[in-house]
């Protein structure tokens, strides 16, 4: 299994809603990532988890809350989002952990297209 | 701050033609990645270049890395419509930073 699975594929939410994005991989990877991608722009790193611990937070607003319940799962909890948060949210994983993980190939999920109304 | 720039940003080319996409980056790194993204889809890893002078080829695509010049190229040979996509390079320092992207459109 070389897939990173993300659910849901599409999500529409109001600014007062609370929702969660889910990501799962069964490749035994120890590093997992959240990226945000606006239309026609490159992906931007949000969070990195290494061995289930948050290792990088790219100054992301607190309305985005990541969670890594175990080495195979990664969640992104959303609360009180703004319309400008509408984007494609990509989860990725890589084999190694820590800084070394950044040297490894990232496997990306198919993403969640989020629209905030 | 690391900057990763690609050019061109948009490329429209005829089937059968050759072209090169350039990726320049602003700080020392010996690891560079190329990804492909179809509209509304995820990123697919194409190449991982791990050292100066590295060259990798897959089908009609060939990637190379010159760490001294801080330059990577993605060469397209005899383009076909299926290659139409956005191509990103990405550079590793303490985190993976993506280039600006090149949107490639191949027409008959």
Count contacts between A and B (CB, < 8 Å).
Answer: 47
pLDDT per residue, tens digit, chain B (108 aa), is 788 999 999 999 999 999 999 999 998 877 899 999 998 888 999 999 988 888 999 999 999 999 999 999 999 999 999 999 999 999 987 778 899 999 999 998
pLDDT on residue B2: 82
- Per-residue burial over A38-75, b if 16 or more Cβ lie within 10 Å, else e, is eeeebbbbbbbbbebeeebeeebeeebebebeebbebb
Best residue in B42, B89, B101 for a mutation probing chain A (most A CBs within 10 Å):
B42
CB < 8 Å to B97, chain A: 45
Whether the CB of A66 is below 8 Å from some CB of chain B: the reply is no
DSSP sequence for B3-30: -EEEE-SEEEEETT--EEEEEEESS--S
The predicted structure's pLDDT at residue B50: 83
Could you read off the pLDDT tens digit of each residue along chain A, which spans 117 residues? 668 999 999 999 999 999 999 999 999 999 999 999 999 899 999 999 989 999 889 889 999 999 999 999 999 999 999 999 999 999 999 887 544 444 567 899 999 999 999
Q: Residue A105's pLDDT is what? A: 79
What pLDDT digit, counting tens, does each position of B48-57 carry? 998 888 899 9
> Facing residues of B57 across strands?
B62
Q: What is the pLDDT of residue A97?
A: 56
pLDDT of residue A102: 47
Three-state SS across A44-64?
Answer: EEEEEEECCEEEEECCCCCCE
Indicate yes or no: CB of B88 within 8 angstroms of CB of A109.
no
Who among A44, A105, A113 is closest to B33 (CB)? A105
Nearest to B96 among A40, A41, A102 (CB): A102
* Cβ contact, residue pair A45, B96, below 8 Å: yes
The predicted structure's pLDDT at residue B54: 87
pLDDT of residue A1: 63
B94 to chain A: which residues are within 8 Å by CB?
99, 102
pLDDT of res. A2: 66
Contacts B25 to A, Cβ<8 Å:
none
| Nearest-angstrom CA–CA distance, B106 and B58 | 18
Nearest to A56 among B48, B95, B98 (CB): B95
Tell me which of A37, A38, A43 to substitute to probe the interface with B (most B C-beta atoms closer than 10 Å). Answer: A43
């Amino acid at each position: 299994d070389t897939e990173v699975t993300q659910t849901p594929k599409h999500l529409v939410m109001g600014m007062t809603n609370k929702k969660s994005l889910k990501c799962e991989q069964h490749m035994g990877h120890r590093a997992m990532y959240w990226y945000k991608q606006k239309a026609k722009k490159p992906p931007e790193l949000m969070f990195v988890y290494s061995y289930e611990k948050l290792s990088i937070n790219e100054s992301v607003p607190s309305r985005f809350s990541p969670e890594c319940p175990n080495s195979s799962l990664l969640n992104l909890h959303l609360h009180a989002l703004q319309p400008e948060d509408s984007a494609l949210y990509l989860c990725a994983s890589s084999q190694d952990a820590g800084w070394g993980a950044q040297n490894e190939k990232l496997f990306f999920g198919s993403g969640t297209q989020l629209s905030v109304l | 701050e690391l900057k990763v720039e690609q050019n061109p940003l948009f490329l429209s080319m005829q089937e059968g033609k050759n072209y090169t996409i350039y990726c320049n980056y602003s700080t020392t790194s010996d690891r560079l990645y190329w990804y492909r993204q179809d509209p509304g889809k995820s990123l697919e890893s194409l190449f991982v270049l791990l050292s100066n002078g590295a060259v990798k080829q897959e089908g009609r695509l060939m990637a190379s890395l010159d760490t001294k010049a801080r330059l990577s190229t993605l060469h397209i040979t005899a383009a076909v419509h299926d290659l139409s996509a956005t191509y990103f390079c990405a550079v590793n320092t303490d985190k993976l930073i993506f280039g600006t992207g090149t949107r490639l459109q191949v027409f008959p």
